[in-house]
Amino acid sequence: MVKQQKKSELTKNKIKEAASLLFVEKNFDETSISDITKSAGYAVGSFYKHWKRKEDLLLELWYDATTNFMLESARTLPRIQTPYEFSVHMVERVSIYGNDPFIQKYFSAHYSLDVHDERAMSEAFDLYVKTIYQQLLTLHDQKENLHLWTISIAVADLLNGHVLNNNNFGKNSCSVLNKEQLISIIEQLIT
């Protein structure tokens, strides 16, 4: 039984890896389930043992990438001592996230979300807000603070919106904030 589970997990990971590469290379809309399983070296039926639709796999890949990004961001936050350092760190991290080839392709994909997808996305965003909140509590030497919670949501919304706008409108738009503007706004919000 354990051997079968390990084999199933290995198959799933190989399919995820192949899909991630194909979604970046071709894009989500032009990649078929058959393309994915063929690239991974499996039959199409292997795909359906793990996901119902291609969108489910896309969301899982996004969730994995986003969760890893947030955990890495949280891991490096404790070294930050000032609101300015926090602002720079958050803007640099969101730039890395927004420039990731998979994330860029994710934002350009045409797909529909089911209710369970929305929940997964909400959980990822909640983790992001909580990470920001914990750091703001540390920076302000507080245990709990409703105002800092509200600011954490505003910072997360601002950074999330920046990634979306940057991917949708490009870096050449005069309506997309640059790095220095983002840092300044976040620093003002958190002080």
pLDDT band at 142 (very low <50, low <70, confident <90, very high): confident
Position 63 scores a pLDDT of 86
Q: Which amino acid is present at 119?
A: R
Between residues 127 and 41, the one the model is more confident about: 41
CB 102 within 8 A of CB 20: yes
For range 138-148, the mean pLDDT? 90
Share of the chain above pLDDT 90, in %: 40
Task: Tell me, yes or no, whether 155 and 142 share the same domain.
Answer: yes
Task: Tell me, yes or no, whether 75 and 99 share the same domain.
Answer: yes
Domain count, the chain: 2
Task: Tell me, yes or no, whether 45 and 116 share the same domain.
Answer: no
Task: Tell me, yes or no, whether 124 and 30 share the same domain.
Answer: no
Task: Tell me, yes or no, whether 18 and 63 share the same domain.
Answer: no
Position 54 scores a pLDDT of 93
Whole-angstrom Cα distance, residue 52 to residue 37? 14
Task: Tell me, yes or no, whether 63 and 148 share the same domain.
Answer: yes
Task: Tell me, yes or no, whether 30 and 57 share the same domain.
Answer: no
Which residues are CB-contacts of 37 (< 8 A; sequence separation ≥ 6)?
15, 18, 43, 44, 46, 47
Position 115 scores a pLDDT of 47
Annotate 38-63 with b (16+ C-beta within 10 A) or e (fewer).
ebbebeeebbeebbeebbbbbbbbbe
Does residue 149 carry a pLDDT above 90?
Answer: yes
pLDDT in tens, 181-191: 889 999 999 98
Residue whose entry in the numeric block shows the structure tokens 């807000």: 129
pTM of the prediction? 0.77
SS3 content of the chain, % helix, strand, coil (to 5): 80, 0, 20
Domain that holds residue 183: 53-190
pLDDT in tens, 54-107: 999 998 998 888 888 888 877 877 678 899 999 999 999 888 988 899 888 887
- Between CA 145 and CA 156, with CA 150 as vertex, the angle to 5 degrees is 125
pLDDT band at 117 (very low <50, low <70, confident <90, very high): low
Position 1 scores a pLDDT of 66
pLDDT in tens, 22-61: 999 998 889 999 999 999 999 999 999 999 999 999 989 9
